[in-house]
Chains A and B, each alone.
Chain A
Amino acid sequence: QSALTQPASVSGSPGQSIAISCTGTSSDVGGYDYVSWYQQHPGKAPKLMIYDVNKRPSGVSDRFSGSKSGNTASLTISGLQAEDEADYYCSSYTSNNPPWVFGGGTKLTVL
């Protein structure tokens, strides 16, 4: 069982927007602005899409955005494209050991 809670699946049609939630506690998501989101295609390594709650690495589309309220972080993908279909994982730094925790992942299906 993962430390951070994500919905198992979300879906949307091309061009639509979707949001994926990531719920933790005051010891992780709520306590630090070190929430990251990773995209993972089948058989591939995770790719950093969002860091520090709402920042994008160079080269990541501005269709990806992040936010946080209390103990819940969210990833929003606007203008869905077929290549966005993947698994998405949230991660947060924590005050405990282990100092990094992940969510169980959300499978995004582009209809």
Chain B
Amino acid sequence: QVQLVQSGAEVKKPGASVKVSCKASGYTFTKYLIHWVRQAPGQGPEWMGVIHPNGGSTLYAQKFQGRVTMARDTSTSIIYMELNSLRSEDTAVYYCAREGAERAVPNKRFDYWGQGTLVTVSS
């Protein structure tokens, strides 16, 4: 079965960086886009970016350009999301989510989600 398993909770100080991982299993890793979505306490989700595991191409939300990096390791089927220059407003649960595909064409819906990783930014 499809599973996305994320790394554990992190506590960081302002200005630091955090790297969250997302291990995929149960499907062909290179055939599906992986998105990162975050959700601050009591708020709606916010899209951060997407990576194509086949080739590693990325697209980031303008808001995070220059501060976020997404990468993948095809040998271990792991996707990484690193966010730099952390501030208190970055405190949120970070999710990886798979975009489904039909006949190799992405279908614009997030069909599987990781369990989430709480990142707390506090001095």
Contact = CB atoms under 8 A, between A and B. Distances in A.
Nearest to A46: B113
Contacts of A34: 108-109
A105 interface: yes
A48 B47 contact: no
Given A98-B63, A100-B35, A93 B108 contact: yes
B47 A45 contact: no
Contacts of B114: 45
A34 B37 CA distance: 17
A22 to B, nearest CB: 11
A47 B112 CA distance: 8
A48 B111 contact: yes
Which bracket fits the contact residues of B?
A: 20 to 34
B80 interface: no
Given A46-B113, A98-B61, A98-B63, A104 B108 contact: no
Contacts of A103: 44
A43 to B, nearest CB: 8
A48 B44 contact: no
A57 B111 contact: yes
Interface in B53-100: 59, 61-63, 95, 97
A104 B44 CA distance: 4
A84 B33 CA distance: 29
Given A91-B45, A102-B37, 15 more contacts: A6-B44, A32-B108, A38-B45, A46-B95, A46-B110, A57-B111, A89-B44, A97-B61, A98-B61, A98-B63, A99-B59, A100-B47, A102-B44, A102-B46, A105-B44
7 contacts: A32-B108, A34-B109, A45-B114, A46-B97, A91-B110, A97-B61, A98-B63
Interface of B: 35, 37, 43-47, 59, 61-63, 95, 97, 107-111, 113-116
Interface of A: 2, 4, 6, 32, 34, 36, 38, 45-48, 51-52, 57, 89, 91, 93, 97-105
Q: 4 tightest CB-CB pairs across the interface, nearest first? A: A45-B113, A51-B109, A98-B61, A100-B47
